[in-house]
Amino acid sequence: MKQIFIVLGMLFMVISCKTTTKDSYQGDEAASPDEMLIRISEIKIHQAYLSEYISILKEEAEASVRLEPGVISIFPMFQMEDSTEFRILEIYRNKEAYESHLKTPHFKKYKTTTLDMVESLKLTDMEAIDEETMPDIFLKLRSVVTVQ
């Protein structure tokens, strides 16, 4: 389980390093771990739509992190054993940021264009175990990941 969060953090940082910098952040307050909404989305996609789904998902994840100050992570990945099985680590500043995310044009586009591609969807709300270390993971990742 610990390895999953490390990999998730690494991928998130690759995405965020490409699209944001500390100076470009628009938020006016730090995220409080006890207010964060953390979720893992488990999505199974029909094989015939795999390539198209990945393209749409990447576009939505990038736009969410870049455009929404309340979105800390939209980090998609798929299982190595079955590329139709996706997981997305979603971290929002708070419930209001999540609700705002659902109203954005990029999320609405993702949801409507992928509706027939999804075979199953399960959303699991999570709670962080080590809230104090979360910021350190992302800072450390930025120093070891090279973005091209």
Residue 14 located in a structural domain = no
Q: Are 113 and 123 in contact (CB under 8 A)?
A: no
Residue 51 located in a structural domain = yes
Residue 6 located in a structural domain = no
Q: Which two tokens stand for residue 37?
A: 């909404």
**pLDDT per residue of the chain (148 residues) written in tens, 0 to 9:** 444 444 444 444 434 433 343 333 344 456 677 789 999 999 999 999 999 999 999 999 999 999 999 999 999 999 999 999 999 999 999 999 999 999 999 999 999 999 999 999 999 999 988 878 877 777 777 777 766 5
Domain ranges, residue 120 = 32-128
Query: How many domains in the chain?
Result: 1
Residue 17 located in a structural domain = no
Q: Which two tokens stand for residue 70?
A: 């309340």
pTM for the model stands at 0.76
Instruction: Compute how many other C-beta atoms are within 10 angstroms of the C-beta atom of residue 26.
Output: 9
Residue 83 located in a structural domain = yes
CATH, residue 114: 3.30.70.100
- 21-29: Cβ within 8 A, 24+ apart: 25/69, 26/69, 27/69, 27/70, 27/93
Residue 76 located in a structural domain = yes
